[in-house]
Amino acid sequence: MGNPLHERRTAAEWSATSQVIEIADKVGDFEQLSGVIEADLSVLDADNVPAEWRAAAVTGRLEFGFADAQRTLPMVDCRLAATVDLVCQRCLEAFGLPLEAEVKLLLLDFDQEIAGYEEYEVWEMEEPMLRPLDIVEELLIMALPLSAMHVESAACRALTAGKQKGAEEKTTPFAALREQMAQD
């Protein structure tokens, strides 16, 4: 049997079977996510690009079901985690950024509206067939920051270099005034 992430079914079919998909894949298995990361890493010299960035683990779980007792509102509970290599926008070096996405999605038709389910986010489906891989990729891409930076400021060379430089060249805005007052 193939990878259920690649199977196409209607949202109602996924939910009717209460399908649970355990995810233990690699970043390279997700074409769109890999494309975004590759574009980010392309600013680095080839020898500075992490060699195994495509082999980084993507883990998680998708649990399909219904949000209502009448079984008319298909939903999926998503929990995803990955650590992806990106370029820090401060020091311009590659680093591993942990990503997490935890969300409950209502799988609704494109023009369908619903009220009273505030604990869910709406996933509007433009076509009747759903491929779980598309949900995983979009959630991970949406979890990427607009400007990637080291999580720990101590790991960022730009910030640690700035601190060292600041200690050596400490200037105050009133230094010139102090000198002038000392001369008077």
pLDDT digits (tens, 9 = 90+) for 164-180: 554 445 556 666 667 77
Report d(CA 56, CA 105) in Å as an integer. Answer: 26
pTM assigned to the model: 0.82
Report d(CA 60, CA 32) in Å as an integer. Answer: 18
pLDDT at 177: 66
pLDDT at 167: 47
pLDDT at 109: 87
pLDDT at 126: 87
- The bridge status of strand 94-109 relative to strand 121-125 is parallel
pLDDT at 23: 96
**Which one has a higher pLDDT value, 50 or 177?**
50
| CB-CB contact of 103 with 119 (8 Å) | no
The pair of structure tokens assigned to 5 is 């992430």
Tell me the pLDDT band of 15, cut-offs 50, 70 and 90. Answer: very high
